[in-house]
C-alpha cells in the first residue's frame, strides 16, 4: 500500500531516446506504455490511489524542444512536471560538455516553461511545475514540503538514505551516483553490518549537517531567501571539492536564486498568485 512508482520521462520520443539510449531501441515507447498501463489499471478499478510519477532531467538537448516536453506530460494525463536541472554528478559529469549548460541558460528555459504552464492554467488546464510548488509551499504556507535537497541542515543521511545494489548505504542517491564514479566519501555503512542508529550517527552525516547549516555559510546566512533554501554537500564536493561549497560561484546556488527571483516576480501578478495558491491545495 505505502509505495509509489516513479520513472524517468524526458519528453517526446526524439528527445527521450537521445538522452536515454537503450539497447532495445525506443526507450521512450516502453516508458510511455508502462505509464499508460498503470493509469489504465487504476481506472479499470474505479479508483486512483496514486498516479505514477515521472521525472524529467533537463539536458542541453531539452532546450531545443521547449514546451513540447510539457505537451508530452499533458498528453499522458500526468498532473505536473518537475523541470529538474541537471547536476554534474556521476555519469553526467563525464558528458557535461555535451549535455550541460550554464545556470543562466537553465533559468531562461525554466522561465519560458513556467510561463507556458501558467498560460495553460489561465485557460482552464490544471497542471503544475513541481519545483515551483515545492518552493511555494515554503513561501506561502506554514507547512514544510520535506524536500531533502532544500533543508537546513541538509537531509543527507537524516531525511534520506540511499541503498546500492551491493548493499552499500549512502547519504542519498546523489552520493550513490558519486560512488559509482569512484568517490565513496558519502558511504555510511552496509546493510549486513550497519544498524539504523549507526547510519544516522555516522561522522559524515554529522559533518554534512554542520557544513550545510545555512547560518554557518557566510553568503547564505545573509541571503534574503535563507528561510526557503538549503545546501547540497554532495554537489559541493563534486563541483568545488569541499562539503561547504563557495556560494558566489556555485552553480546550484545561482539556479535556486534565479528560480526564487522568478517566483517572487510572478507572485506580484494576482492571476499567477491565484494559480500558485491553487497548486498548494491539490
Query: pLDDT in tens for each of the 282 residues of the chain?
Result: 567 788 889 999 889 988 888 777 788 988 899 888 887 776 555 555 567 788 898 999 999 998 999 999 999 989 999 999 999 988 888 899 999 999 999 999 999 999 999 999 999 999 999 999 999 999 999 888 989 889 999 999 999 999 999 999 999 999 999 999 999 999 999 999 999 999 999 999 999 999 999 999 999 999 999 999 999 999 999 999 999 999 999 999 999 999 999 999 999 999 999 999 999 997
Cα 17 to Cα 13, 14, 30, 33, 67: the distances in Å are 6, 6, 11, 14, 17
Q: Which pLDDT score is estimated for 38?
A: 81
pLDDT per residue over 213-239, tens digit each?
A: 999 999 999 999 999 999 999 999 999
Judgement on whether residues 191 and 117 belong to the same structural domain of the protein: no
Per-residue pLDDT at 26:
87
DSSP letter assigned to residue 12: S
Q: Does residue 75 fall inside a structural domain?
A: yes
Residue 47 shares a structural domain with residue 182: no
Structure confidence at residue 67 (pLDDT) = 92
pTM exceeding the 0.85 threshold for the entire prediction? yes
Residue 1 lies in a domain: no
Q: How far is the C-alpha of 74 from the C-alpha of 59, rounded, in Å?
A: 20
Alpha-carbon distance of 227 to 230, in angstroms, equals 9
Which CATH number do you get for residue 13? 3.20.20.70
Whether 98 and 113 share a structural domain: yes
Same domain? For 56 and 142 the reply is yes
Parent domain of 276: 6-146+259-281
Residue 57 lies in a domain: yes
For position 252, what pLDDT does the model report? 97
Whether residue 86 is found in the same domain as residue 185: no
pLDDT score, position 236: 96
Same domain, yes or no: 29 and 123: yes
Please check whether residues 46 and 107 belong to one and the same domain.
yes
- Are residue 10 and residue 138 in the same domain, yes or no? yes
Q: Is residue 90 within 8 Å of residue 181, measured between CB atoms?
A: yes
- Cα gap 163→8, rounded to integer Å: 19
Can you give the pLDDT at residue 267? 98
Pair 135, 240 in one domain: no
Looking at residue 1, its pLDDT comes to 55
88 belongs to a structural domain = yes
Output DSSP code: residue 114. H
Amino acid at each position: 500500500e505505502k509505495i509509489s512508482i516513479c520513472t524517468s520521462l524526458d519528453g517526446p520520443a526524439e528527445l527521450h531516446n537521445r538522452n536515454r539510449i537503450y539497447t532495445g531501441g525506443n526507450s521512450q515507447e516502453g516508458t510511455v506504455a508502462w505509464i499508460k498501463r498503470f493509469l489504465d489499471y487504476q481506472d479499470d478499478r474505479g479508483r486512483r490511489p496514486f498516479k505514477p510519477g515521472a521525472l524529467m532531467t533537463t539536458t542541453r538537448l531539452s532546450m531545443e524542444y521547449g514546451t513540447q516536453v510539457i505537451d508530452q506530460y499533458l498528453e499522458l494525463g500526468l498532473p505536473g512536471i518537475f523541470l529538474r536541472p541537471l547536476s554534474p554528478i556521476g555519469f553526467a559529469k563525464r558528458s557535461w560538455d555535451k549535455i550541460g549548460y550554464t545556470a543562466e541558460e537553465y533559468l531562461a528555459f525554466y522561465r519560458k516553461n513556467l510561463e507556458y504552464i501558467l498560460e495553460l492554467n489561465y485557460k482552464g488546464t490544471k497542471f503544475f511545475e513541481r519545483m515551483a510548488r515545492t518552493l511555494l509551499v515554503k513561501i506561502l504556507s506554514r507547512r514544510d514540503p520535506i524536500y531533502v535537497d532544500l533543508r537546513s541542515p541538509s537531509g543527507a543521511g537524516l531525511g534520506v538514505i540511499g541503498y546500492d545494489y551491493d548493499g552499500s548505504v549512502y547519504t542519498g542517491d546523489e552520493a550513490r551516483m558519486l560512488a559509482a564514479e569512484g568517490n565513496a566519501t558519502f558511504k555510511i555503512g552496509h546493510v549486513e553490518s550497519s544498524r539504523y542508529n549507526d547510519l544516522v550517527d555516522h561522522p559524515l552525516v554529522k559533518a554534512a549537517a554542520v557544513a550545510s547549516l545555512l547560518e554557518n555559510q557566510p553568503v547564505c546566512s545573509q541571503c534574503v531567501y535563507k528561510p526557503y533554501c538549503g545546501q547540497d554537500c554532495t554537489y559541493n564536493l563534486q563541483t568545488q571539492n569541499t562539503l561547504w561549497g563557495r556560494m558566489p560561484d556555485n552553480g546550484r546556488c545561482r539556479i535556486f536564486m534565479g528560480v526564487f527571483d522568478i517566483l517572487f516576480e510572478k507572485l506580484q501578478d494576482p492571476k499567477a498568485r491565484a494559480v500558485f495558491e491553487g497548486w498548494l491545495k491539490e
